[in-house]
Structure 1
Amino acid sequence: MEEKNSDRIPLINPPPSTATDGTASKLQTIGNIIVSIVGTGVLGLPFAFRIAGWLAGSIGVILAGLATYYCMLLLVQCRDRLASEKELPGTTTYGDLGYRCLGRPGRYLTEFLIFISQCGGSVAYLVFIGQNLASIVKGHGLTIASYIFLLVPIEIALSWIGSLSAFAPFSIFADICNVLAMGFVVKEDIQQAIGGDFLFRDRKAITDNIGGLPFAGGMAVFCFEGFGMTLALEASMKERRTFPKVLAMAFTWITLVYVLFGIFGYMAYGDETKDIITLNLPKNWTAIAVQIGLCLGLVFTFPIMVHPVNEILEGKLKKKLWLQKLHDNDAESSLTRLGKFGICISRAVLVIGLAVLASFVPGFGVFASLVGSTVCALISFVLPASFHLTLLGSSLSFWQKALDFCILLCGLLLAAYGTYNTIVGV
């Protein structure tokens, strides 16, 4: 690199040090960003707006979107700095950045938080499916936990499928069902407004319970999931220089949709808004079809969510002496039948453990806010700001350092205060 880092404006003019070996176009990258970020959390936003108020909720979503966008660019800039110094050649992972900035504890901390966040997202999937199935099928004496455990054999069998590409159509199907569910909520809003059941003055702009703000903030952060895909998304582009603009375009539309959907959902149902907005939909065949579609999509995308967890666990297991003996000819990829059986057992145990955790979760909204307030805030805000200050602190201006410190502090406060309010109840 001939250009010094101090001569550039960080984040606006990214360094040209990375190779352009990606294949994704701008439009494809926008699609990948949307698929990576938008998930079931969006269906909990109206409940968050009910807790915080429509104005406070809107501001919270906008701030969460801006902070997540900025921190994603910080992460890319940190990777580019290491690539320019040839300290970590090739594709750098989030864990590699943690190791470079904080040593081995940094790698362990980063991978542990990613592990917990993936487990949290997997548990949220199970809770979401359980609550929706319980609302659809009533009068059979089955609890939400019962429906969750009925899914266990299916999810264990799916977790044994080796190719994740087989689940790609179901992931797209789940996203389509999300869009349909959002469309249904908006339709119900309009119908209630026309029918005269809607009174704007009954909808609070800002809650009088200050504890509701961190709760809603945690939910907003949870909705911008997919932070761990940042480096992979940027590396997949043909023109990697355009990633900040493409990311900004995608985040603008996602944030706008989040705000409007949260407002519409809360305006439609007011204090009756449930933690999953689909539970407010009328029990007609169309609404039930949307709920069933959402559940089916998540059943088949659950293995994608737990795949990184399996990789981490199996990577640790392969280092154990007893498991190394289960390979043929010392080849890591050629497991014996006993070795393959052990991997299947470990995946089954993971699914059962996640189902047990999900059976104790009181509700989707509470759990999503807890995950967003803790691991998501740490992964999305605290770690990127810390890495940026560590790697580029000497070349940053006062205001850039101040902004990083502000994000770092806010992330820690959200993790602490939001967790407290989630546990004691809003």
Structure 2
Amino acid sequence: MAEAKAAALLAREDGGAAAEGSGRGGGATWAQTLGNVVVSIVGTGVLGLPYAFRAAGWLAGTLGVAAAGCATLYCMLLLVECRDKLEEEETEEPCDVLYTYGDLGQKCFGTIGRCSTEILIFLSQAGGSVAYLIFIAQNLHSMLTQFMSPDGFIFAVLLPMQIALSFVRSLSSLSPFSIFADACNVLAMAIVIKEDIRLFDHPFADRSAFNGLWAIPFSFGVALFCFEGFSMTLALEASMAERKKFKWVLSQALVCIMFVYACFGVCGYLAYGEATKDIVTLNLPNSWSSSAVKIGLCIALAFTFPVMMHPIHEIVEARIRSSQCFQKFSQNVGGPNWLALHASRIMVVTILAVVASYVPAFGAFIAFVGSTVCALLAFVLPTTFHLSIVGSSMSLWRRLLDYGFLLFGLVFAVYGTFTAL
């Protein structure tokens, strides 16, 4: 899933975002940036799209994907415009670090703005991590039904493994698994489409085009979850050698992704109809090719789970280190209390495993995360920052457009949450 690339979201302090710690631009070409955009956005969330199309109808689902993609693109460009405006207003010698998402929150609303942004990123990462566990457990259960339930796989297999991997602090040692996961995602989509085409000789009389207005927020929420690489926008823009071309590159990438998402969702729903499951790989027959894809996805995601958890652990450990009790204890023992930090990692992973065991359905869960946290990150914060930083120099229609997106984000978060629940 794309969330695995988000370890750099809070990276201003630790230099995790490669380009953001090295000056006013990176060395990535437009082609490399295009690939990075696709890798940052496309993930296993796309495997829930056919189920969203089943809930909304193939036409409503397509419109939902298109609307989510266009709205996300617009708000991504708002963030870039905010940073450009701040750079223009710098009167002193330029700083060595480009503004990050959290920095924009700090610039607009001080500590509260940064904290709110980090909390939303934290919740987004936590939601993605839970989705990882659900996805892996359900796919393992589909292949090994006779051994244990999905919850059994979470606690007996995944939890001990992830606790052990949580002590790996070097992200570079896990990066090959992220690439492997992306390759498995592409392979899984290809095999699903192949199976879809094989089933196209079946009648499509029961495939609904539109299932009512209530289903559109659900499909929009799932689609928004699939575009969740949103918070990587500034890091990706900073990585380009020719940053002025980023808007064009981003637009091309989003248009292509929207087309692929719509085709994948329509094909999956038309192939399986009302039998479409919330993880479409569960619809695949028990052949060697589909089993190989499931196993590859499970292995890759199990090893990229620690990458997903990295910003969560950083936020938790930063709060522990800043606490007076921890500082006093560290002084008494002559150094940092690594036991407390490791214990916090075990506790966080265990809590997420418990949450995953109580989630009733993958499709509903990613719609819930997309409708709440992702909507706030993608629409509410960017428009708020844009109005605060650029608002005075904008035309009336641009301000009205921003206010429209802001209101839409708030209303959608409320109504979309109700629909998903």
1:103 equivalent to 2:113? Answer no
- Whole-Å Cα distance in 2 between the matches of residues 162 and 327 of structure 1? 20
CA contact (8 A) 2:204 2:270 kept: yes
Picking from 57, 68, 77, the partner of 2:81 is 77
In the alignment, residue 75 of structure 2 is paired with which amino acid? C
Q: How many residues of Structure 1 are paired with residues of Structure 2 in the alignment?
A: 396
1:48 equivalent to 2:55? Answer no
The aligned counterpart of 1:8 is: none
Where 2:208 maps in the other structure, the secondary structure is: coil
Shift of 1:20: 4.1
Shift of 1:160: 0.8
Picking from 26, 49, 61, the partner of 1:57 is 61
Shift of 1:201: 3.2
- Whole-Å Cα distance in 1 between the matches of residues 197 and 106 of structure 2? 52
Picking from 251, 255, 264, the partner of 1:252 is 255
The aligned counterpart of 1:301 is: 304
Alignment of 1:338-417 (within 5 A): 339-417=337-415
CA contact (8 A) 1:155 1:351 kept: yes
1:160-213 CA deviation, whole Å, 9 max, x = no partner? 1111011111111111111111111111111112xx32x2332111113x3211
Alignment of 1:325-340 (within 5 A): 325=328, 336=335, 339-340=337-338
Shift of 1:138: 1.0
Gaps of 5+ in 1: 1-17
Between the two proteins, what is the percent identity of the paired residues?
55
Where 2:228 maps in the other structure, the secondary structure is: coil
The aligned counterpart of 2:5 is: none
Shift of 1:347: 0.8
CA contact (8 A) 1:20 1:240 kept: no
Shift of 1:325: 4.6
CA contact (8 A) 2:24 2:98 kept: no
1:67-125 CA deviation, whole Å, 9 max, x = no partner? 11111110111122222223894222212211222232222211111111110000010
Picking from 310, 315, 327, the partner of 1:312 is 315
1:163 equivalent to 2:167? Answer no
Picking from 139, 144, 150, the partner of 1:137 is 144
Gaps of 5+ in 2: 1-21
Where 1:161 maps in the other structure, the secondary structure is: coil
- TM-score, length of structure 1 as denominator length: 0.89
Where 1:201 maps in the other structure, the secondary structure is: coil
Mark the CA change 1:113 to 1:203 in structure 2 (over 3 Å): closer, same or farther. same
- Whole-Å Cα distance in 2 between the matches of residues 47 and 21 of structure 1? 40
Where 2:199 maps in the other structure, the secondary structure is: helix
- TM-score, length of structure 2 as denominator length: 0.90
Question: Which deviates more from structure 2 when the two are superposed, residues 320-329 or residues 116-125?
Answer: 320-329
In the alignment, residue 145 of structure 1 is paired with which amino acid? D
In the alignment, residue 188 of structure 1 is paired with which amino acid? E
Where 2:90 maps in the other structure, the secondary structure is: coil
Where 1:226 maps in the other structure, the secondary structure is: helix
1:185 equivalent to 2:189? Answer no
- Whole-Å Cα distance in 2 between the matches of residues 340 and 19 of structure 1? 33
Supply the RMSD in Å over aligned alpha carbons. Answer: 1.9
- Whole-Å Cα distance in 2 between the matches of residues 124 and 414 of structure 1? 21
CA contact (8 A) 1:51 1:212 kept: yes
Where 1:279 maps in the other structure, the secondary structure is: helix
- Whole-Å Cα distance in 1 between the matches of residues 239 and 337 of structure 2? 34
